[in-house]
Each structure stands twice: as structure tokens, then as C-alpha cells.
Amino acid sequence: MDTGTHVVMGVGLGGLATLDPNVTQDPVMMQAVMIATIVGSQAPDFDTVLKFKNNAVYIRNHRGPTHSIPAVLMWPILISAVIYGFVPDINLLHLWLWTFLAVFLHVFVDIFNAYGTQALSPFNKRWIALGVINIFDPLIFLSHIAAFILWRYGAHPGWTFLILYILLIFYYVWRIRARNKVVTHARRLHPSTTHVFISPTFQWNKWHLVIRTPEMLHVAESKDHQIRYFESYEFEPIPGDEITQAAIKDDNLSAFLSFSPTYRWIMRKTEDGYEVKFIDLRYRTKGYYPFVAVVRLNQDLEILTSYTGWIYSDETLEKKLKQGRVST
């Protein structure tokens, strides 16, 4: 989910904690738990600072180690220990429990969008992305805002957020069923399908699809149970030629491949040598595929420049490639 949704969920869990007598009996404990749930709901995304290093490191690690099983266990201990160091007279066990719930819920809800997490790492490092909820879901965010307003005007926060989260469970179940119907429909149209990559949109009845068969990649959209096709490409595994293999050694392209499960690749000759471009097919936006990795090499297959990330115009991509050009 987006940062704003994680914030409101952290505050919501702080409100839910007022159902715990060990929290409500002490105003200091209430404040400590509220701080803990807000920080805990953000902690797994602290790896965003990796953006300051470069996109390759960020893409390879974001929602990876900080969302793993060890991290889910360590974040609550670290956050609780810091808070307890300032207010040692509070109930440490219940502080840890509410912090753990905040951290766990962050990682859990991230599984349901199209980006996913490595939540089972280190036992299984595959990306888990169920494609059920959009990265920003207006209903989830605005329902929290409505609950805050009720809280402000006298509603009991614990019962308010308990009811809200029960209703959101039903919402998730409904979305899972809707998502499964779309996937089943796609598989029915393409019996040889090996995988359907699905991404939700702001519209409940609209989904982005990449349908992969042994021979083809179909980029499509499902709306009102009707599938509309945009492009279809022959499914071609990454070739073993020396040009592509040299490009794959680049950090940017390697990071892209560690994250993207469905893509097409293009290799072309340039004035300086060669360009190898990989395009993630999951995020088609207004006819454009914004998540890419590009590597340019000279005639000797030495890397001249490369880039990976979100780009919404060819002009911007050229600027990024010029900025990343290796000095010779």
C-alpha cells in the first residue's frame, strides 16, 4: 500500500488498542502504543532511503529484507525497546504485541497489491503479489478518515475501528473473489495459459492483465467481465548471445530482472554499439510501459550507460541515460 494508507492504518490500530485494558488504564501507555503502531506501520518501508543510493539497489531490495520474516520479528522488538527506554513504567509485553500487529499488518496488506513483497524470505525469496487491491485504494483510505471523524465526535475508537476492520475483511474477500473470476475467465479463453499476471485499478470492475502462454504474451484489460486485448507478443526467453549476456551483467538490468516476472526484450544496433531494453508488461498506462531497464554497450560490449525505473516519456529516458553515462 501507499505511505498515506499505512499511516492511517497505524493510527487506526492505535485506536483499536483502546479495547485493551492494559492500554486504556494508563494515559502514558496509550500514547506509547499510538506512537508504536504509527512507527510500526511505517517501519518495513524504511528501506525507501535506498533510493538515495540508486534505483538498482532500491528495486532489488525494496519490500525484500525489510518485509521478510526476520524483519517482521525484529522491527517490533527494536521499536518497543526504544520506546520502553523512554518510558520504562509501561507494560512492555502489550506494547510489543500492538507494535507487532502494526508491522505484521503492513507486510500482510502489501501482499495483496500487484507489486508484492518477499514476505516468506529467507525461506522463499519469490515475490508474492496477489493483485487484489490497488497500491492506493480510496475506500480503505477514506473509510479510515471517516472513522477518525467519528472518533473526533465521540465514538469509541476501539469499537469504531473493530467494526471498520471487520468490514474491510469482507471487502478483501469480495475483491479476492472478483480477482479470481477475472483470472478464471482469462484461463478459459487461453487453455494453455501458464500464468496470468493481474493488476487492479482504481475502478473495481477494471483490471490490467498479462496472459502468458508457452507461445505468446497477451497484454489486455478486463472490464465488466469482457477482455480487451492491446498487444500480443511472441514469448521469447532471454537469448544466450554475447550481447544480451553482457547487458545482463549490468546492475540496473540485473535489478530489473530480479523484480519483474513478465517482460519483453528488444535489442537494436546503435551508432555506438548496441542497446538492450527490457519492458515490464504489467504496468501499461495510456499505451505506454513506464517500468523499463535499458543498457547501452559499445562495439566491444562494454557498458556505456544504463538505467532502470519508472519513465513516462522517451525524452526523460534519454536524459536519465545521459546522466548515467560511464566516463571513458
* Each residue's pLDDT tens digit, 70-86: 999 999 999 999 999 99
Q: Under the phi-then-psi rule, with left for phi > 0, alpha for psi from -120 to 50, and beta for the rest, what region is 286?
A: left
Q: Residue 267 — very low, low, confident or very high, per pLDDT cuts 50/70/90?
A: very high
Round to whole Å and give the CA distance between 70 and 44: 11
Cα angle: 119, vertex 309, 243; to 5 degrees: 105
Nearest to 95 by CA among 79, 107, 72: 79
The neighbouring-strand residues paired with 265 are 278
How many helices (H) and strands (E) are present in the chain, helices listed first? 11, 8
pLDDT in tens, 87-113: 999 999 999 999 999 999 999 999 999
Mean pLDDT of the region 249-275: 91
> Residues of the chain with pLDDT > 70: what percent?
98
pLDDT in tens, 156-177: 999 999 999 999 999 999 999 9
- Provide the pLDDT for residue 50: 77
Report the b/e string of 120-129 with b at 16+ CB within 10 A.
ebeeeeebbb
328 pLDDT more than 70: no
- Provide the pLDDT for residue 76: 96
CA dihedral over 157, 159, 161, 162, signed as positive or negative: positive
pLDDT in tens, 281-291: 998 888 889 99
- Provide the pLDDT for residue 163: 98
- Provide the pLDDT for residue 326: 58
pLDDT in tens, 190-227: 999 999 999 999 899 999 999 999 999 999 999 998 99
